[in-house]
Structure 1
Amino acid sequence: MEDAIRGIAQGAAPVPLSVLDLVTVGAGSTAAASLRTSVEISRLAERRGYHRHWVAEHHSMPGVASSAPAVILAHLAAHTSRIRLGSGGVMLPNHAPLVVAEQFGTLEALAPGRVDLGLGRAPGTDGATARALRGPGHFDEQAEEFPRALADLTRFLDDDFPSGHPYARVHAVPGPVQGPAGRPPIWLLGSSGYSARLAAELGLPFAFAHHFSAANTLPALDLYRSSFRPSAVLDEPYALIGVSALAADTGGEAVRQVRAAALSMLRLRTGRPGLVPTPEEAESYPYSAAEREFVTDWTRNVVHGTADEVRAGLDALVARTGADELMLTSNAHAGEARRRSYELVADAYGMPDGAAVAAGAAPVREA
């Protein structure tokens, strides 16, 4: 399973590069168009040698269309043949462990050896939506509940509840009860020390959300590495960090796109979520002093600019954090800006274009 976790850097990239997809929806566009863009990005990422394409679970956010990662991943699996696909992540408190085991057992059957199961402890939304998702009596993200749910999920995936356990005769299908089968590697995701410590204790790979918790990145990675216990999964720690990165043909265009994404985040944080605004709307928005400070701070945490500027920023981040892998999320108003960013980053690192190999892949079907 360790081979499924560790990747090989392509071209001149210092570590493997991957994609984190929020399936952002811009003003004037639709979820259907954004999902088509995600297919295009997944095929581009596979062609250019990105290691993974993960989809993040979010709810009740008009500017995001990734509320059902397992459904999206099944669609991406039908349009790709080699790139690893996974959740970045599934928010486990929102789901019964058996349901997650069955969804990802199905994905593993559809795309054998290509599926990752990244798990988070946060709801991926606001409190009211979380309650609506979970329904009465469902567990929450209290510290003692998440490890229990994770243990149940792992046992469902391995079909190894001990005799006498209430779930000993319950089987996740597709799964081992049907015969020899692979199973997705489990990753823990987080933005603080909690998941870092738990991943270390269990010997699991760890993905840190640097893109929205940059101040906690180094402490969390230090905690993970210093507490790591070797396991059947990993001999030594493996840390991936999620990074907001946007490359454009000019530095000015990158700034315009990033500021539009920053305005979208500002509205979300102040209880006014909506579709991702256009760069023109962001330029004309009447920011208060506090809002302008928020946008400035948010933009500072996005690696953006020309392809060479983004490459330099990513190289510096690897040097500073020692990350084993970078997962880039390129959020912008237009799908073409998202797609172009991943292409430019691949160009900057000299990642080979495998178009000839991918020529036989299934065509994108219009929604």
Structure 2
Amino acid sequence: MSASPPVRLSVLDTTLIGRTPESAFADTIALARYAERLGYTRYWMAEHHGAPGVGSSAPAITAGAIAAATARIHVGSGGVMLPNHVPLVVAEQFGTLAALYPGRIDLGVGRAAPEPRTRAMLARDLVNYPADDFAGRVAELIGSLTQGFVSPRATQPPSVWILGSSSAGASLAATLGVPFAFAHHFGRGDAAAAIEHYRRHFQPSTAFPEPYAMVTLLTVVADTDAAAARLAGSADLMFRSMVAGRPILLPSPEQVDTHDWTAEDLAFAEQRRRGQAIGGPETVRDVIAGLLARTGADELMVTSQMYHLADRMRSLELTARQLPVPA
């Protein structure tokens, strides 16, 4: 089974920290450069707060570092969580990036709020922006980027994307006439239904006369199914510990090997992997082809959460072999 027609292939990164923040960001830069060499279309940074094993709390800063270290690949956020920010500040940050790296900057925005402690700290600066007014924030953001008083206003403003895991995000993206990215890697929601809703209700805009949909996928590819399953255990254990209230750094595969997995741990890992692409090349090829056939997505964005940089590079290489990028 193969994917047809070809779709663009991209990367979502969260800068997971297994040793030090410095080494984690060095790995992110190295992986972005490698993705560019492999022909990937874009490299996005997520936004997460309050977890010692996750370094991607400031996507605008990391995106700038990645853009400076690469030459062609599109760089951006996947995404900036607007409930955490004043839209004007986001517009200034990404407007600056767009002026520094013309035609290469994407601004994906989502509505997810952080955990309560982080939210309480942020709320001191966001009292005039209700958390549930996501559509209003997006409208203000787009207006600031294209017609407000914000400076710099780049000749080629960043492309604004709506991120979501339900029909609510799809509806907003369709109404605004912007691209839509469905977070299938979250393991919840119906990607096919949301993307179909987005296409059916899409209202053309000047920047995007046609709908454009992306789907994200947790992808861990190794030479065999067993090897990939072992490598995926690092992130399984880190996120399980986070959910259980015992946050840890990203453990190595060797540390995972010695972990005493409880029934609850195993159930969490099974749920997290459901519908994702974890395995050898043939297994992953079938999962990707099935997802693309169901959704009709124009682009696939993979997130490969492994401890060793060499394993992440190998995973991107094997993924590209299963899904050749368009010329």
AA aligned to 1:32 is E
The one of 112, 116, 123 equivalent to 1:134 is 123
The alpha carbon displacement at 1:289 in A equals: 2.1
SS of alignment partner, residue 195 of structure 2: helix
User: Which of 154, 161, 164 pairs up with 1:190?
Assistant: 164
Which amino acid is 2:150 matched to?
Answer: A
1:22 and 2:10 matched: no
Residue 149 of structure 1: which of 134, 137, 148 is its match?
A: 137
In the alignment, which residue of structure 1 is the partner of 2:99?
109
Q: Partners in 1 of 2:100 and 2:194 — Cα distance? A: 34
Q: Contact 2:275/2:287 (CA < 8 Å) preserved in 1?
A: no
Aligned position for 1:173: 151
Would you say how many aligned residue pairs link Structure 1 and Structure 2?
324
- Out of 8, 29, 36, which is 2:26 matched to? 36
Residue 242 of structure 1 pairs with residue 230 of structure 2: no
TM-score norm. by structure 1 comes to: 0.83
Gaps (5+ residues) in structure 2? none
Residues 164 and 181 of structure 2 are in contact (CA less than 8 Å); yes or no, is this contact kept in structure 1?
Answer: yes
Gaps of 5+ in 1: 1-10, 161-170, 355-367
Cα deviation, 1:5-28, whole Å, max 9, x if unaligned, reads xxxxxx9882110000111112xx
* 1:248-296 alpha-carbon deviations (Å, 9 max, x no partner): 1332221101122111121122222221122233333233323322212
Counterpart AA for 1:259: G
Aligned to 1:362: none
Describe how 1:184-333 pairs up with structure 2 within 5 A: 184-333=158-307
Q: Which has the larger radius of gyration?
A: 1
Distance 1:350 1:238, change over 3 A: closer
Q: Distance in 2 between matches of 1:115 and 1:325?
A: 17
TM normalised by structure 2 equals 0.93
Change (3 A) 1:197 1:12: closer
For residues 339-358 of structure 1, what are the structure 2 equivalents within 5 Å? 339-349=313-323
Query: Using the alignment, how far apart are the partners of 2:324 and 2:167 within structure 1?
Result: 35
- Are the structure 2 counterparts of residues 111 and 304 from structure 1 closer, same or farther at C-alpha, using a change threshold of 3 Å? same
Q: What is the aligned-residue RMSD (CA, Å)?
A: 2.1
- How far 1:62 moved relative to its partner? 1.1
Q: 1:128 to 1:333 in 2, by over 3 A?
A: same
Provide the secondary structure at the position in 2 that maps to 1:211.
helix
> Which amino acid in 1 is paired with 2:139?
A
Q: Is the 8 A contact 1:118 1:186 kept in 2?
A: yes
1:93 aligns with 2:83: yes
Partners of 2:287 and 2:5 in 1: how far apart? 12
Separation in 2, partners of 1:70, 1:337: 26
Shift of 1:138: 4.7
Pairwise CA distance, 1:325: 0.6
One-letter amino acid of the counterpart of residue 121, structure 2: A
What is the DSSP-based 3-state SS (H/G/I as helix, E as strand, rest coil) of the residue aligned with 2:297? coil
Q: Which residue of 2 aligns with 1:365?
A: none
Q: Which amino acid aligns with 2:182?
A: F
CA distance in 2, matches of 1:98, 1:50: 30
Give yes or no for contact 2:59–2:80 (8 Å, CA) kept in 1.
yes
Can you list the C-alpha shifts for 1:28-52, whole angstroms capped at 9, x where unaligned? x111111111111111111111010
CA contact (8 A) 1:48 1:346 kept: yes
The CA deviation string for residues 44-91 of structure 1, in whole angstroms up to 9 with x for no partner, is: 111111010000011111111111111111111111111100100011
